[in-house]
Amino acid sequence: MFDLSPILDCNGRPLKLDRPRVMGIVNVTPDSFSDGGAHDSVEAAVAHALRLAEEGADLLDVGGESTRPGAGEVSVEEELRRTIPVIERLARETPLPISIDTSKPEVMRAAVAAGAGLINDVYALRREGALDAAAGLGVPVVLMHMQGEPRSMQREPVYDDVVAEVHRFLAERVFAAEMAGIAKKRIVVDPGFGFGKTLAHNLSLLAQLERFAELGVPLLAGLSRKRSIGELTGREDARERVHGSVAAHLIAAQRGAMLLRVHDVAATVDALKVWHAVAAQAVPRRA
């Protein structure tokens, strides 16, 4: 039987999407909402990333700018200073694909030159020059939906129909990326949980995640330790939201997400092993 699963070529490091894959989060920031400051030196970030690789991550997402609600901007120079040395080390010390979580074209270019093989952009390449930069770099891109800006996006997010509006936005960004010369096989989309959404909006998106399969590209879901998980479980401390995050990501996998962006890799990998074993069971056809 032929395996027609998509394979993302991440700068020579293949990522086969034959099953949900785990993207381990490496925030090299002093202020990320759940792990800010924990790994904001090169040594600490590299050690953390290698630990996530040990735990079974399929790729590593390096970010130098927090996009939590209320976050301010980080300069290009500062974002480069934080991320590039980490990517250079990881490119040497792990065979895993490395993604750069950035919206700045200069950071995209430097990161890919340093060994990153995927661009993860919460602004869906809407920043000046981002589309051309990503098209020129030839690596896969993640296009994520966000309503507003991190600074203000959670003040009062409103939609007529959140699923339809996020779907339409992502369809438009896929089209824009293709028009810029990014092949559809290099495009991943993401509804952007928590980016200008209330709990109700996030639940609607998760419940109707299968709708996004219509876009014809792989889907990434990132719910790890987010505020919605805290609201549902009553866990104020983001570090205590592992169980709720794993549940949400299993639901996302069940509804078609092929990439899961997580802090808690070991727990998610174990949960996916159970999920995959069952999913692989051939269900006898009823006579």
Ligand X SMILES: Nc1nc2ncc(COP(=O)(O)OP(=O)(O)O)nc2c(=O)[nH]1
Nearer to ligand X, 25 or 87 (CB): 25
How many residues can be counted in the chain?
Answer: 287
The SS3 assignment for 202 reads helix
Judge whether 207 and 254 are in contact, CB under 8 Å. no
> Closest Cα to residue 152, out of 72, 79, 228?
72
According to CB under 6 A, which one of 10, 60, 144, 217 is a site residue for ligand X? 144
Q: Which residue is nearest to ligand X (CB)?
A: 222
Catalytic annotation on 261? Answer: yes
Pull the structure tokens for residue 79.
């974002």
Buried b (16+ CB within 10 A) or exposed e, 184-213: eebbbbbbbbbbbbbeebbbbbbebbebbe
Site string for ligand X, 186-225 (x = CB under 6 A): ----x-xx--------------------------x-x---
According to CB under 6 A, which one of 11, 32, 102, 268 is a site residue for ligand X? 32
Report the alpha-carbon distance of residue 113 to residue 141 in Å, rounded.
Answer: 15
Smallest gap from residue 186 Cβ to ligand X (A): 15
According to CB under 6 A, which one of 27, 83, 204, 228 is a site residue for ligand X? 27
Choice among 261, 273, 285, 286 that is catalytic:
261
Report the alpha-carbon distance of residue 85 to residue 40 in Å, rounded.
Answer: 12
Catalytic annotation on 21? Answer: no
According to CB under 6 A, which one of 63, 97, 105, 218 is a site residue for ligand X? 63
Site string for ligand X, 86-105 (x = CB under 6 A): ---------------x----
Question: Residue 59 contacts by C-beta under 8 Å, 6 or more apart in sequence?
Answer: 10, 15, 21, 22, 23, 24, 96, 97, 98, 99, 118
Nearer to ligand X, 27 or 268 (CB): 27
Residues that contact ligand X, how many (by CB under 6 A): 21
Q: Which stretch binds ligand X (CB under 6 A): 27-35, 73-81, 151-159, 247-255?
A: 27-35
> Closest Cα to residue 173, out of 133, 122, 117?
122
According to CB under 6 A, which one of 58, 60, 62, 66 is a site residue for ligand X? 66
Report the alpha-carbon distance of residue 265 to residue 56 in Å, rounded.
Answer: 7
Active site (catalytic) residues: 226, 261
Residues in contact with ligand X by CB under 6 A are: 25, 27, 29, 32-34, 63, 66-68, 101, 120, 122, 142, 144, 190, 192-193, 220, 222, 261
